[in-house]
């Protein structure tokens, strides 16, 4: 029996039992994603290669992840909301052959998160212009003040002193000028050395042309930055010749070049298929020059949105300001792919003289290699937190239920827990993402399970009480290795946790009920390779997370390096309808949205499982119940907070 230490008052020895998890449907064939990368030196060179690229017929990326599902029965009944107005799809697929579930108000209420940021009501999408100013972290976000579906996009605004306990503030920017009347879309903040703050954002004009606009605080001495002014000379950047009017958006945070000029990158595409980041330079943020060539471009990846570009220290334990250059530094280029609704990144080298970026591994280039998050996640953005010398990452997580359900519950979408980002100097190939340390302030009572033996084909209940809000640290060790296994093993995450192989899958079942009629497995899947080594995948299986038929449910995951001196470790943040899973110290991350119908409130439980066919695993866990963040409107009327604002 496992050894258990707990600060809670109740405990019991877990008992092993077999469960429906072991059912094994027919396997699908593996679908490896192939790609290639081409560094294109200039716009002219790009266009001259179009014919050659088309003739080479690279394997296409999925046109939309919503069209590929676990049952193959979902399809887009009409053009997704947002696409017609020149941004990525914001609506979910129409599940035309699925009967809507009879959700109750109690179920909807349970789905709302307790410590993830989300507005009081209505629709939210991309994070905008995050920054730290006079003791306050600022988060702006795409927001519809009128409805729980996308439209009338304004900038919502919230502040926090710790990135966890947020206060809602009045709207920061509204679409009220000809250059943004169809939407104040995504943008980024740049903090200048003299203390000024400049905000660049995309506006959709009265003719639906995407332009880049400048805004700045009305009063820099205001720690809450309540009022923002739009530059009278907007727009400051318009689509260059050869760029589609509706495919030119989301300016990055600026970085300073060795010549004293600032640079920004803007996402676009060429010939509808070549994802591209253009570079503009400026000395005053009101006048811009398009530089020759491009920062980078990758054929076959389609429109690049929400481009992010920042340095990471090879041997450092702190983040870097965007302007950091020199030896010991690599640069991360990230793009949100409009065609697939996935955030991809790559690590490479930035030439500050030519303003070109080159990936370390062309076969893992932007859009064809590593993902920022392998789950339900998009439009991520980082900023440098100068107060703690760290780079912080936000990401938007939208719903997987229907728009009708969103309208009924009155809200849609959340932001992930902010994550710190560092270069993984052990592998040299990955970033490490980890929840900011401040989230640990929400930890309440802890329960520890030591050396729990989970036999092959078994499930172990973990007695922690209600399991709706948790922070889980888990480490797994394979007890014995099976040499020369000849079992036919499917690559990647297979059909989910039911797809058995010699070494796995094994992990935890979150948001599950006692009978395991609803559950969400988070797991490792080590697989034998031809050279006798193990190749490991980190996965999340939503296929049985809910009995509701009108919810999109998928298997997510990606390959994860597990070095010779490492065990299999994960951290899982559970917060009602969102599960954020960090494998291998944050090398591979998966965000899941789940909408159970029975595993809610006091019925939510936590289990260990091992669905391997040949080995036992040993697990050690520390599990905290998590408090709520009590996100609320800013208490302007409270004297204590007035004094706090004045002091900062």
Count of residues making up the chain: 648
Domain boundary among 395, 413, 435: 435
Count of structural domains within the chain: 2
Over residues 284-293, mean pLDDT? 97
Gap between the Cα atoms of 303 and 307, Å rounded? 10
User: Residue 211: enclosing H or E segment and its boundaries?
Assistant: strand 210-217
Phi and psi based region of residue 67 (left: phi greater than 0; alpha: psi -120 to 50; beta: remaining): alpha
Q: What is the CATH number of the domain that holds 521?
A: 2.60.120.560
Domain carrying residue 390? 123-435
Q: Give the per-residue pLDDT at 648.
A: 63
Whether the link from the prior residue into 571 is cis, omega within 30° of 0, is no
Gap between the Cα atoms of 511 and 508, Å rounded? 10
Question: Are 233 and 198 within one domain?
Answer: yes
Question: Are 563 and 459 within one domain?
Answer: yes
Q: Give the per-residue pLDDT at 488.
A: 52
Q: Give the per-residue pLDDT at 65.
A: 32
Q: Do the domain assignments include residue 562?
A: yes
Q: Do the domain assignments include residue 635?
A: no
- Which residues are CB-contacts of 645 (< 8 A; sequence separation ≥ 6)? 223, 224
Mean model confidence pLDDT for the chain: 87
Domain boundary among 382, 411, 435: 435
Question: Are 455 and 426 within one domain?
Answer: no
Q: How wide is the angle at C-alpha 37 spanned by C-alphas 32 and 38, nearest 5°? A: 160
Over residues 67-92, mean pLDDT? 56
CA distances from 516 to 20, 22, 345 (A): 7, 11, 36
Upper half-sphere CA count for residue 146 (Cβ side, 13 Å)? 6
Q: Do the domain assignments include residue 2?
A: no
Which residues are known to be catalytic? 126
Q: What is the CATH number of the domain that holds 398?
A: 2.115.10.20
Q: Give the per-residue pLDDT at 85.
A: 77
Question: Are 452 and 402 within one domain?
Answer: no
Q: Using the predicted structure, report yes or no on whether residue 26 has a pLDDT greater than 70.
A: no
Question: Are 543 and 427 within one domain?
Answer: no
Question: Are 496 and 364 within one domain?
Answer: no
Per-residue confidence at 24, pLDDT binned at 50, 70, 90?
very low
Q: Do the domain assignments include residue 59?
A: no
607 neighbors 519 (Cβ within 8 angstroms): yes
Whether the link from the prior residue into 505 is cis, omega within 30° of 0, is yes
Question: Are 424 and 457 within one domain?
Answer: no
Question: Are 349 and 494 within one domain?
Answer: no
Number of Cβ within 10 Å of residue 129's Cβ equals: 28
Question: Are 406 and 461 within one domain?
Answer: no
User: Residue 407: enclosing H or E segment and its boundaries?
Assistant: helix 403-409
Question: Are 491 and 422 within one domain?
Answer: no
Domain boundary among 373, 403, 435: 435
What SS3 state is found at 615? coil
Q: Give the per-residue pLDDT at 53.
A: 33
Q: Do the domain assignments include residue 24?
A: no
Q: Using the predicted structure, report yes or no on whether residue 113 has a pLDDT greater than 60.
A: yes
Closest among 394, 380, 393, 295 to 342, alpha carbons compared: 380
Closest among 38, 68, 149 to 407, alpha carbons compared: 149
Q: Do the domain assignments include residue 275?
A: yes
Q: Would the pTM count as exceeding 0.95? A: no
Question: Are 228 and 292 within one domain?
Answer: yes
Per-residue confidence at 55, pLDDT binned at 50, 70, 90?
very low
Q: Do the domain assignments include residue 376?
A: yes
Residue 248 has phi, psi (to 5 degrees) of -160, 95
Strands (E), 373-468: 378-385, 390-397, 411-412, 414-415, 419-423, 431-435, 443-454, 458-462
Q: Do the domain assignments include residue 347?
A: yes
Question: Are 386 and 456 within one domain?
Answer: no
Burial of 34 (C-beta count, 10 Å sphere; 0-12/13-18/19+) = exposed
Reduced DSSP (H G I as helix, E B as strand, rest coil) percent helix, strand, coil of the chain, to 5 = 10, 40, 50
Q: How wide is the angle at C-alpha 497 spanned by C-alphas 435 and 530, nearest 5°? A: 95
């Amino acid at each position: 029996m496992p050894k258990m230490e707990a600060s809670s008052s109740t405990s019991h020895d877990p008992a092993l039992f077999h469960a429906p998890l072991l059912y094994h449907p027919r396997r699908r064939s593996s679908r490896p994603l192939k790609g290639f990368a081409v560094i294109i030196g200039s716009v002219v060179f790009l266009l001259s290669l179009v014919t050659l690229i088309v003739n080479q017929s690279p394997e296409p990326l999925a046109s939309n992840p919503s069209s590929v599902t676990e049952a193959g029965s979902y399809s887009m009944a009409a053009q997704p909301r947002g696409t017609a107005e020149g941004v990525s799809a914001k609506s979910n697929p129409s599940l035309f052959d699925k009967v809507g579930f009879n959700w109750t108000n109690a179920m909807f209420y349970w789905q709302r998160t307790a410590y993830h940021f989300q507005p009081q009501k209505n629709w939210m999408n991309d994070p905008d212009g995050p920054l730290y100013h006079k003791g306050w972290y600022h988060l702006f976000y795409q927001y519809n003040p009128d409805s729980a579906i996308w439209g009338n996009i304004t900038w919502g605004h919230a502040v926090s002193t710790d990135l966890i306990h947020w206060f809602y503030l009045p709207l920061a920017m509204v679409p009220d000028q000809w250059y943004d009347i169809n939407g104040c879309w995504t943008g980024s903040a740049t903090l200048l050395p003299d203390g000024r703050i400049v905000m660049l954002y995309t506006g959709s004009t009265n003719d639906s042309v995407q332009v880049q606009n400048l805004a700045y605080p009305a009063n820099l001495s205001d720690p809450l930055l309540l009022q923002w002014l739009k530059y009278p000379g907007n727009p400051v950047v318009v689509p260059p010749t050869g760029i589609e009017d509706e495919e030119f958006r989301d300016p990055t945070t600026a970085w300073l070049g060795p010549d004293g000029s600032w640079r920004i990158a803007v996402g676009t595409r060429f010939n509808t298929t070549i994802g591209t980041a253009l570079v503009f330079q400026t000395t005053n943020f009101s006048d811009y020059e398009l530089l020759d060539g491009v920062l980078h471009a990758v054929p076959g990846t389609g429109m690049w949105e929400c481009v992010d570009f920042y340095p990471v220290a090879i041997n450092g334990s702190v983040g870097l300001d965007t302007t950091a250059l020199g030896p010991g530094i690599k640069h991360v280029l990230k793009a949100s792919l409009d065609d697939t609704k996935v955030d991809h990144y790559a690590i490479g080298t930035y030439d500050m003289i030519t303003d070109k970026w080159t990936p370390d591994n062309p076969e893992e280039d932007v859009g064809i290699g590593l993902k920022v998050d392998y789950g339900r996640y998009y439009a991520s953005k980082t900023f440098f937190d100068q107060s703690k010398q760290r780079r912080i990452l936000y990401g938007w997580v939208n719903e997987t239920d229907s728009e009708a359900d969103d309208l009924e519950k009155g809200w849609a979408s959340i932001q992930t827990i902010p994550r710190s980002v560092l270069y993984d100097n052990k592998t040299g190939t990955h970033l490490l993402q980890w929840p900011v340390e401040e989230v640990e302030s929400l930890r309440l009572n802890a329960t520890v399970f030591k050396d729990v033996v989970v036999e092959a084909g078994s499930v172990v209940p973990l007695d922690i009480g209600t399991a709706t809000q948790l922070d889980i640290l888990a480490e797994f060790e394979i007890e014995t290795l099976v040499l020369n296994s000849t079992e036919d093993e499917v690559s990647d995450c297979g059909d989910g946790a039911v797809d058995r192989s010699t070494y796995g899958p094994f992990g935890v079942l979150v948001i599950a009920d006692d009978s395991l009629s609803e559950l969400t497995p988070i797991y490792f899947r080590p697989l034998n390779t031809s050279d006798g080594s193990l190749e490991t995948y980190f996965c999340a299986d939503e296929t049985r997370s809910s009995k509701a038929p009108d919810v999109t449910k998928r298997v997510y995951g990606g390959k994860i390096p597990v070095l010779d001196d490492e065990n299999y470790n994960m951290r899982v943040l559970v917060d009602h309808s969102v599960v954020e899973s960090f494998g291998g110290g944050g090398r591979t991350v998966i965000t899941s949205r789940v909408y159970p119908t029975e595993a809610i409130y006091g019925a939510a439980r936590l289990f260990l499982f091992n669905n391997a066919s040949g080995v036992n695993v040993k697990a050690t866990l520390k599990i905290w119940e998590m408090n709520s963040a009590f996100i609320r409107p800013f208490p302007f009327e409270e004297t204590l907070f007035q004094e706090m604002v004045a002091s900062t």
